[in-house]
Amino acid sequence: MYVNDHHGRWHADASAILRAALDGPGGDVAERLAPADAEPLLLKARYSAFDHTALELLLGELRADRLLLCGGATEACIVQTGIDARELGYQVTILRDACATVDPELEELSLRYAERVAGMVVRVA
């Protein structure tokens, strides 16, 4: 399941989103993680992938109970998505080495919070 910031547009053009990611920092990583044509791509306007998106409905159809989170930014989008997932009853694992940050110190603090307070598992992929 792929969820991406909408960056002022609400059309889920996976190829345009991927092109922008490939041209930016970390493009080599984006290339390896690119969604296949048949994989869902949701757009979000806020930190959490659950906030005003169809993610909960899609996960319900899949009968998911554990989510593995990766992406960026760890200290914002990833941890906030995890908090919302926990509130909805999902088990959550954050794959720390598959996440990106703009502030390593803040990332460490947020991962400690995710594990100790919010009840998420933080592991190496």
Render pLDDT for 81-120 as a digit per residue (tens, 0 to 9). 999 999 999 999 999 998 989 899 999 999 999 999 999 9
Domain 2-123 has CATH 3.40.50.1980: no
Rounded to two decimals, the pTM is 0.87
Which has the higher per-residue pLDDT, 14 or 99? 99
Which of 32, 43, 29, 31 has its CA nearest to residue 1?
Answer: 43
Question: What separation, in Å, do the N-terminal and C-terminal C-alpha atoms of the chain show?
Answer: 17
Task: Enumerate the domain spans of the chain.
Answer: 2-123
**Whether 1 contacts 59, CB under 8 Å:** yes
pLDDT tens, position by position, 20-71: 777 877 777 777 777 777 888 888 889 999 999 999 999 999 999 999 999 8
What pLDDT is recorded for position 17? 74
3-state percent breakdown (helix, strand, coil) of the chain, nearest 5: 40, 20, 35
Report pLDDT for 107: 95
With bands split at pLDDT 50, 70 and 90, how would you rate the model's confidence at 12? Answer: low
